[in-house]
Structure 1
């Protein structure tokens, strides 16, 4: 669906449908009709009045979330009709919420449907009396961000048979080519030669070779340098600590962190951000076999730290450990390091399906990240480190254990594990995003469909736009 910004009075723009977002039914010219059919000014409530060419959607608040939900509700209904054009008046509404709500709400993943729907040529017209440079910039940025989120959703939703480490590397190369980025891809020989035995071990039993992917965006006179690291488990069986059958379903989503990094990198040059940005991805498949790594193994990470393996299903942190070390070894003078991972079910238990868990050592930076995440329309909250949970990942036979000796606080202990692979000078520059909850949900929510949501993309792009 096309979304266009129209400089004209709403009444003078020709369209087959009019969309009205209603927070007070008393002000509607169709009040009597709406009351007669039981319409309420609540999120996701909708009334289609085809005989007069109008869609009414409820809205409980004037914030980003309610407006985005309202327009996505209207767009989904619009797509079921044979109408080709619909218009809405911007008024005092959040333009960003309108554009992103429409483009994210209309997303469908139909790659594996045998019967393809014919795509309709439909267009949403956003009417504004005067298009100022600020309005134009906001509109274009929102379209770029929405495209990045939907690209991320596509990658996450793709099955493990069609998206394994080699394919993820090819996807990264295409993104680099399309956006004038640099891209390097390293195989298992590089991992072995550079002591990245934690990541190397996780993918050892797979028929697909593990790939370390490094994307770079280097504008002239960059103000800051940012590193984004993504967990790219293209499939996670749990390894020898095999997952129950029901828990293996949806494990194509274990590449959501890497997919978010790819989505972000696809947008940074289009947004013309004055920041040097590096995207590091550990693309690995965790399988079983005669060569699988085992509980009781001790692995040596790139920074020389030894890791006792007590559960091969705690594999993402092993991949991230080596990727974080690689980033700090290969990139100088880093200002921020963010890592993204569907790391723990404990985070979902703790904060629910829809919220990102934010962890790190810098309280101010964590607050800034949460603030920008909420501003972007995503949900996030901080989870605190403490000295007592840090003790639970100590090993008797190695430097550190890949799982804690307690069943409680699992999201935090996973974050504390990663902290062991952040250099001292970078401790306050690092933030860990546990996106296990919102990255993939098996029911539609708000303007997010069944499946991948693109968690972390809008949050990070919003943060990057605020860097001075």
Structure 2
């Protein structure tokens, strides 16, 4: 776990293994590099020629570019790491928080294996300090649990010291504490997503949630397979019945004595998705440990809300199952009676996420929360529509959908509002059951959203986040985003909880 401290020390006098500064492209009309605010003392140690030295080494100031140079004798740190911030802001403007977050993440990744780094990036306001801290702590993430130490396994940057922060200022202190709690829980979600499915299965995930509940004062209730059968959770039981590891439904409840609103979060937790009898084709199974990313995001968001002591009630529902083919597995053509009482004809056992979510949504609706948000790696169709870095947002209320989109943009998560066209509902008509779990192939991500809508209680505001694209990064790391599990949607859910606590549900 990377430690975070605020310091008023000067960049030239602080002892650290590396000193991080920002550089940028000149504003319109200018040429070459400019040294960003916060690095004045470092530039002075280079006799005012830091930009020239970096340009000689090929630096351009492009976003995410990292250049290391030996420090001159005037600095206590032996290495200066210059990170690109992109275009410098125009006069009277400041650097965008997301640009600072990404730059700090790039620098922290480049310093993995280092003990201590001081970050002298531009801090004009509390929000800048929080963005830098958040980016550095997220960028420092490394999943090394299954690597022999010393072989291909650099540990994360051990300590981040943020210069320009004011440790005695209540606002800066609160911002640092928020950044630390949020980053730690996002990184825990990443750990869960990255954990191999032979170690992370419904029962073990439920045990992790139970332990976290005890630590942070969250009430946790776990329904095992017997309780799920007895409770008529046909969707969760049906998906999980082919696996050796039985399914679970986990309810986490964080409550606050001053809360006036309740937010329910529902997460898809397929700890491994083979596709079931409708087996996935070769080449599509290797990363299916990530199909519980929605549940990981919900878990992390509830714990973060508890750690921040937000004056809002947040309930998390983790719908956990393994989707495996076996003699006891659900078959195409089977009909499941869901918790809500509706019957579903299963046309494709690889459309299983919507089945477990449907039961959890119906159960969450019984408590009549002010809003429900579900999060799921639900459809490949959403990846085709929006790519690998953007999640889709659907809702039964346009204003709520817009609000979540704005929140996601505010916290630096790429998202896009998507419709729920009523004409696509007919494709899920079944001659046997109330509804089928598949509809038209075109617009498959929207069809899945329409299916889920059927199980939301009447009059309850609801949104669905399909994070199939950004939940698991199969490419190279970028900004503060690592390869593998990303913790997608956690920041959006936490900010939504904060907005709800402030009386602005959207």
TM-score (norm: length of structure 1): 0.95
Query: Is 1:128 aligned to residue 164 of structure 2?
Result: yes
Q: Over the residues paired in the alignment, what is the CA RMSD in angstroms?
A: 1.8
Q: Distance in 2 between matches of 1:86 and 1:99?
A: 11
Q: Distance in 2 between matches of 1:233 and 1:80?
A: 33
Match of 1:424, SS?
Answer: coil
TM-score (norm: length of structure 2): 0.88
User: Residue 84 of structure 1: CA displacement?
Assistant: 3.7
Q: Does 261-270 or 44-53 show the bigger shift?
A: 44-53
Match of 1:359, SS?
Answer: strand
Q: Which residue of 2 aligns with 1:162?
A: 199
User: Residue 9 of structure 1: CA displacement?
Assistant: 4.3
User: Residue 16 of structure 1: CA displacement?
Assistant: 4.5
Equivalent of 1:198, from 235, 248, 251? 235
Q: Distance in 2 between matches of 1:269 and 1:379?
A: 25
User: Residue 121 of structure 1: CA displacement?
Assistant: 7.5
User: Residue 431 of structure 1: CA displacement?
Assistant: 0.5
Query: Is 1:105 aligned to residue 102 of structure 2?
Result: no
Q: 1:35 to 1:345 in 2, by over 3 A?
A: same
User: Residue 90 of structure 1: CA displacement?
Assistant: 4.5
Equivalent of 2:80, from 54, 67, 72? 54
User: Residue 425 of structure 1: CA displacement?
Assistant: 1.6
Query: Is 1:420 aligned to residue 454 of structure 2?
Result: yes
Q: Which residue of 2 aligns with 1:239?
A: 276
Q: Please say if residues 385 and 412 of structure 1, whose CA atoms lie closer than 8 Å, have aligned partners that are also in contact.
A: yes
User: Residue 145 of structure 1: CA displacement?
Assistant: 0.6
Q: Distance in 1 between matches of 2:263 and 2:317?
A: 11
Q: Distance in 1 between matches of 2:328 and 2:15?
A: 65
Q: Please say if residues 341 and 436 of structure 1, whose CA atoms lie closer than 8 Å, have aligned partners that are also in contact.
A: yes
Q: Please say if residues 235 and 338 of structure 2, whose CA atoms lie closer than 8 Å, have aligned partners that are also in contact.
A: yes
Q: Distance in 1 between matches of 2:451 and 2:144?
A: 38
Q: Which residue of 2 aligns with 1:302?
A: 339
Q: Which residue of 1 aligns with 2:75?
A: none
Query: Is 1:88 aligned to residue 120 of structure 2?
Result: yes
Match of 1:100, SS?
Answer: helix
Q: Which residue of 1 aligns with 2:357?
A: 320
Q: Distance in 2 between matches of 1:451 and 1:276?
A: 31
Q: Distance in 1 between matches of 2:347 and 2:468?
A: 21
Q: Deviations over 1:230-285 (max 9, x none)?
A: 11101111010000121111000001011111111221111111011111111101
Q: 1:60 to 1:89 in 2, by over 3 A?
A: closer
Equivalent of 1:78, from 108, 111, 130? 111
Q: Distance in 1 between matches of 2:166 and 2:304?
A: 27
Match of 1:339, SS?
Answer: strand
Q: Does 254-263 or 3-12 show the bigger shift?
A: 3-12
Q: Which residue of 2 aligns with 1:407?
A: 441
Equivalent of 1:389, from 399, 424, 439? 424
Q: Please say if residues 67 and 98 of structure 1, whose CA atoms lie closer than 8 Å, have aligned partners that are also in contact.
A: yes
Q: Distance in 2 between matches of 1:121 and 1:414?
A: 41
User: Residue 327 of structure 1: CA displacement?
Assistant: 1.4
Q: Please say if residues 141 and 271 of structure 1, whose CA atoms lie closer than 8 Å, have aligned partners that are also in contact.
A: yes
Q: Please say if residues 357 and 434 of structure 1, whose CA atoms lie closer than 8 Å, have aligned partners that are also in contact.
A: yes
Query: Is 1:63 aligned to residue 96 of structure 2?
Result: yes
